[in-house]
Amino acid sequence: MNVSLRQVEIFLAVAQTLSFSEAAKLSHLSQPALSGNIKRLEESLGARLFDRHTRKVTLTAVGREFLTIAGGMTETMQLSLTRMRDFVAGKRGRLVLAAAPSMAASFVPGLLAEYLRKNPDVEVELHDELSDVCLDMLRKGAADVALAARDPKAPDLVQRELFRDPLVVICPADHALARHSTVRWRDVQAYPHVVMTRASNVRNLVDAEFARYGLKLHPAFEVAQVGTMLGLIAANLGIGELPQSLIHNLDMSGLVHRRISNAAAYRSICAITLKDRAPAPTLPPFLELCRSRAAGWMQAGGKR
């Protein structure tokens, strides 16, 4: 059976007006064109829908039965088209976000709260992973967007800088460095270091800053967890560096942090997508919200 939505709409116009001429005006068709559509609809159904008399049109028994379902057909189609428009506009659907742990614990919670408040019909899936894993998820199609540090060697990615996340040095409150409001790398380098493993982009940045001064970092301790780093620092076994964005989510009892004055001591945090992949409709509104929130978030000191 080959019945189009347009034929159903024309049928409803005739059934409403019981006049082919009036229905033609409502449907923006010539009367012969309207009659042709009704004829094709009747042929598809295998029965006459209207009895045509000299001065009036009436519904046949088949016409009355079809009227009971035709309204539902158009309503269902309109609902379906509305859902599709919402999907294309990014108001419905799914968004998979991969975020580096420091971002997942700091910037992301407030971001997602606002995004879901504005888009309650979007399903969001969050993965908190190391930056390298986030980028791998992007490349495999397992994530739509990643919030992570910039990768300078990734021509296949579109990396939109959101903000610069400065490094801070963490030390005990009675440490010599705690007497300063900011510190220099040359001041930091003289002390034993507790560092994250090489899988961390923060570690790579610290190594690069040591190398900038012609030095090689020889850590006192190399750890995989931030909590372990803080415990060792609190026990006066060294100092360490972490992103400023992470500080407000840590237990800093007995510890202080100081900004490193070197202009290069920061991570560039980006909203990252794959260059050659068509974005999910939910992605553009999410990226716009990332951009609008980022500036205010850093001005607030990286607080939620």
pLDDT recorded at residue 233? 95
pLDDT recorded at residue 300? 61
Taking the chain (304 residues) in consecutive chunks of 10 residues, what is each chunk's mean pLDDT?
83 91 91 92 90 85 88 76 71 89 90 93 92 92 93 92 91 93 87 89 85 87 92 95 86 91 81 90 92 77 57
Model confidence pLDDT, tens digit, residues 115-129:
999 999 899 999 999
Judge contact between 201 and 131, C-beta under 8 A. Answer: yes
Helix axes 61-88, 5-17, angle to 10 degrees: 130
Chain length of the chain: 304
Rounded Cα distance between 56 and 128, Å, is: 70
Judge contact between 272 and 132, C-beta under 8 A. Answer: no
Model confidence pLDDT, tens digit, residues 167-202:
899 999 999 999 998 898 888 888 999 999 887 888
Q: Going from the N-terminus, what domains does the chain have, and what CATH number goes with each? A: 5-88 (1.10.10.10), 93-162+267-299 (3.40.190.10), 166-266 (3.40.190.10)
